[in-house]
């Protein structure tokens, strides 16, 4: 039923319902829920194999709905953008559905729509991903995967499409400057990552986008869209043999190639940085943080459990409880670790009216500092463990959810026993381990703090800001 899929632009603006909070749920000190968690009873059998060209396949059979979801992920995110061509990965992703083989952009679009497919591509800092969702009716899925393979092996990258998609990206980037949160996020990454390839945004920067030529895109596709650089997650109604055969016939045709060398390590910050960006808005947006951890690190788990109590657990967290519940200063206040292949950021943030900014900022800083120094209480650890283990099946509910998990497990080499290990590791961490991990990764004396707002708070960022790169 319901609406036509609203364009990405319109959806958030319309009369869509308002949520109570950006993230949900939280504990505190109460009722003794049964200590057993039944998450363990839920097993998701993941099957993995490699195609002849080296592509890693992760597959789960879900026969209930007559559909297939496939996502192919390449180590070809914006961190692989060459110097001076920041935006190459973003353009490659956006151009994948703009013509392939002997199909023009219009013809490809018609083919995709006639088959009733959901077809899309995108990029982040680590990954470039392509996905297609198809019905299993007739040979729809075979045609879908064939189209996807053609898009990857014979992308057209026509001058006309390049010009158009570049111009659309430039418009989107200009529009992002309307959004104080987007402005803050970009400045935050720039400050935290300095010379590292994570510093620039995944959609690139205007000068870089303008420097990208058709040959760059072709070289990029040839280098990165190869079997040994591919993780393929598949969830749906087709059985394993059928999936295997069809994959060999389609994505199996990608050349074997080579995975790229690991990204450079992230250098630690050498001191605190405070950056103020003036913007004519009614609310100040604050982000503070540092390089955090990697997705495959062992301390991912103590940090995950610990951060739940600090600022990841919505109403369960100290930040929400102090900043929003006790003082009514911000609608959203949070902290998170966003792990990547190399150390992804730890970031805490809030938005508040200018008059309340000094108070909100000092409360947030105090809570982060205190938490890093002392760690959580045993009761907080218990609450976090109950939530994280109990809510585990929720992450595997829809085929789409499951496909996303498979992608992460495959791309970051977490191992097919990861889902079991997740529960076990979450259960076994304690307050001491969390405290150690927090202190090892975070140093409150060397945080980057970015504020976007109409008034610079007194004394903020006055002491020799690092020059903008």
Minimum Å distance from CB 410 to another protein? 20
Binding status of residue 396 toward another protein by CB under 8 A: yes
Question: Could you give the string, one character per residue 152-191, with x where binding to another protein holds by CB under 8 A and - elsewhere?
Answer: ------------x--xx-xxxxxx-xxxx--x--xx--x-
Q: Return the range that interacts with another protein (CB under 8 A); candidates 132-140, 213-221, 292-300, 426-434.
A: 132-140
| Short-list 399, 463, 407, 415, CA closest to 271 | 463
Query: Between residues 1 and 262, which has the closer beta carbon with respect to another protein?
Result: 1
Binding status of residue 109 toward another protein by CB under 8 A: yes
Binding status of residue 29 toward another protein by CB under 8 A: yes
| 281 touches 413 (CB < 8 A) | no
Choice from 50, 118, 258, 421 touching another protein (CB under 8 A): 118
Q: Return the range that interacts with another protein (CB under 8 A); candidates 33-41, 297-305, 370-378, 417-425.
A: 33-41
Choice from 48, 63, 417, 424 touching another protein (CB under 8 A): 63
Helix axis angle for 399-411 and 418-428, nearest 10°, is 80
Choice from 272, 393, 415, 444 touching another protein (CB under 8 A): 393
| 403-408 LR contacts (CB < 8 Å, sep 24+) | 403/69, 403/70, 403/71, 403/131, 403/233, 403/234, 403/235, 404/71, 404/233, 406/46, 406/58, 406/59, 406/60, 406/233, 406/234, 406/235, 407/58, 407/71, 407/73, 407/129, 407/231, 407/233, 408/295
Query: Between residues 254 and 288, which has the closer beta carbon with respect to another protein?
Result: 288
Q: Return the range that interacts with another protein (CB under 8 A); candidates 116-124, 249-257, 367-375, 405-413.
A: 116-124
Minimum Å distance from CB 226 to another protein? 27
Query: Between residues 382 and 443, which has the closer beta carbon with respect to another protein?
Result: 382
Question: Could you give the string, one character per residue 83-102, with x where binding to another protein holds by CB under 8 A and - elsewhere?
Answer: ---x----------x-----
Binding status of residue 9 toward another protein by CB under 8 A: yes
Question: Could you give the string, one character per residue 273-292, with x where binding to another protein holds by CB under 8 A and - elsewhere?
Answer: --xxxxxxxxx---------
The per-residue b/e assignment along 363-394, b for 16 or more CB within 10 angstroms, e otherwise, is: bbbebbeebbeebbeeebbebbbbbbbeebee
Strands 128-135 and 118-123: antiparallel
Binding status of residue 237 toward another protein by CB under 8 A: yes
Minimum Å distance from CB 150 to another protein? 16
Cα of first residue to Cα of last residue in the chain, in angstroms, is 49
DSSP state of 100: B
Choice from 106, 417, 420, 440 touching another protein (CB under 8 A): 106
DSSP string, 103-172: B-HHHHHHHHHHTT-EEEEEE-SS-EEEEEEEE-STTHHHHHHHHHHHHHHSB---HHHHHHHHHHHHHH
Residues 450-469 that bind another protein (CB under 8 A): 468-469
Binding status of residue 391 toward another protein by CB under 8 A: yes
Q: Angle CA(135)–CA(138)–CA(141) in degrees, nearest 5?
A: 45
| Short-list 319, 328, 317, CA closest to 353 | 328
Choice from 47, 66, 338, 436 touching another protein (CB under 8 A): 66
Q: Measured between alpha carbons, how far is 429 from 385 in angstroms, rounded to an integer?
A: 9
Strand runs labelled E in 271-421: 273-278, 283-291, 333-337, 345-353
Query: Between residues 103 and 251, which has the closer beta carbon with respect to another protein?
Result: 103
Minimum Å distance from CB 53 to another protein? 27
Residues near 211 by beta carbon (within 8 Å), at least 6 away in sequence: 84, 85
Q: Measured between alpha carbons, how far is 205 from 290 in angstroms, rounded to an integer?
A: 22
Binding status of residue 16 toward another protein by CB under 8 A: yes
Choice from 89, 131, 351, 449 touching another protein (CB under 8 A): 351
Binding status of residue 133 toward another protein by CB under 8 A: yes
Q: Return the range that interacts with another protein (CB under 8 A); candidates 46-54, 112-120, 148-156, 421-429.
A: 112-120
Query: Between residues 42 and 49, which has the closer beta carbon with respect to another protein?
Result: 42
Longest Cα–Cα distance in the chain: 67
Q: Measured between alpha carbons, how far is 239 from 242 in angstroms, rounded to an integer?
A: 6
Strands 448-453 and 273-278: parallel
Count of residues that interact with another protein, criterion CB under 8 A:
125
Q: Measured between alpha carbons, how far is 467 from 162 in angstroms, rounded to an integer?
A: 33
Choice from 394, 417, 428, 445 touching another protein (CB under 8 A): 394
Binding status of residue 327 toward another protein by CB under 8 A: yes
Choice from 146, 154, 194, 315 touching another protein (CB under 8 A): 315
Strands 333-337 and 230-236: unpaired
DSSP state of 263: P
Choice from 255, 268, 328, 378 touching another protein (CB under 8 A): 328
Choice from 46, 76, 112, 230 touching another protein (CB under 8 A): 112
Residues 188-217 that bind another protein (CB under 8 A): 190, 199-201, 205-208
């Amino acid at each position: 039923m319901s609406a036509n899929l609203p364009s990405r632009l319109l959806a958030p603006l319309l009369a869509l319902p308002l949520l109570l909070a950006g993230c949900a749920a939280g504990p505190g000190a109460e009722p003794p829920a049964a200590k057993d968690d039944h998450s363990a009873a839920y097993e998701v059998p993941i099957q993995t194999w490699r195609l002849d060209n080296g592509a890693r396949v992760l597959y789960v059979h879900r026969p209930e709905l007559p559909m297939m979801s496939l996502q192919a992920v390449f180590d070809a995110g914006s961190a692989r953008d060459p110097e001076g061509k920041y935006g190459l990965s973003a353009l490659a992703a956006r151009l994948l559905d703009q013509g392939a083989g002997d199909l023009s952009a219009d013809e490809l679009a018609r083919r995709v729509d006639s088959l009733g497919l959901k077809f899309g591509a995108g990029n982040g800092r680590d990954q470039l991903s392509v996905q297609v969702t198809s019905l299993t009716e007739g040979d729809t899925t075979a045609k879908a995967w064939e189209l996807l393979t053609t898009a990857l092996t014979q992308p057209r990258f026509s001058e006309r499409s390049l010009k158009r998609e570049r111009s659309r990206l430039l418009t989107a980037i200009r529009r992002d400057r309307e959004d104080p949160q987007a402005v803050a996020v970009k400045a935050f990454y720039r400050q935290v990552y300095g010379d590292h390839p994570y510093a620039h945004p995944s959609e690139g920067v205007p000068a870089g986008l303008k420097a990208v030529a058709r040959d760059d895109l072709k070289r990029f596709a040839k280098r990165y869209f190869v079997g040994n650089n591919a993780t393929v997650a598949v969830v749906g109604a087709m059985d394993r043999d059928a999936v295997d055969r069809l994959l060999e016939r389609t994505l199996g045709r990608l050349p074997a190639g080579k995975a790229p060398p690991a990204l450079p390590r992230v250098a630690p910050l050498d001191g605190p940085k405070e950056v103020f960006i003036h913007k004519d808005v009614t609310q100040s947006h604050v982000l503070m943080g540092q390089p955090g951890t990697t997705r495959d690190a062992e301390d991912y788990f103590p940090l995950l459990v610990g951060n739940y109590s600090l600022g990841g657990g919505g109403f369960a967290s100290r930040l929400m409880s102090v900043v929003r519940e006790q003082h009514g200063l911000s609608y959203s206040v949070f902290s998170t670790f966003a792990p990547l292949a190399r150390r992804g950021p730890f970031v805490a943030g809030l938005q508040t009216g200018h008059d309340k900014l000094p108070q909100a900022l000092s409360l947030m800083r105090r809570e982060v500092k205190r938490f890093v120094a002392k760690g959580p209480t045993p009761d907080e650890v218990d609450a976090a463990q109950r939530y994280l283990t109990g809510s585990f099946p929720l992450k595997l509910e829809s085929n789409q959810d499951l496909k996303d998990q498979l992608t992460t497990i495959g791309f970051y080499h977490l191992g097919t026993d990861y889902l079991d290990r997740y529960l076990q590791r979450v259960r076994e961490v304690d307050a001491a381990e969390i405290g150690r991990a927090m202190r090892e990764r975070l140093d409150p004396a060397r945080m980057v703090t970015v504020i976007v707002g109409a008034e610079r708070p007194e004394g903020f960022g006055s002491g020799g800001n690092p020059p903008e790169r």
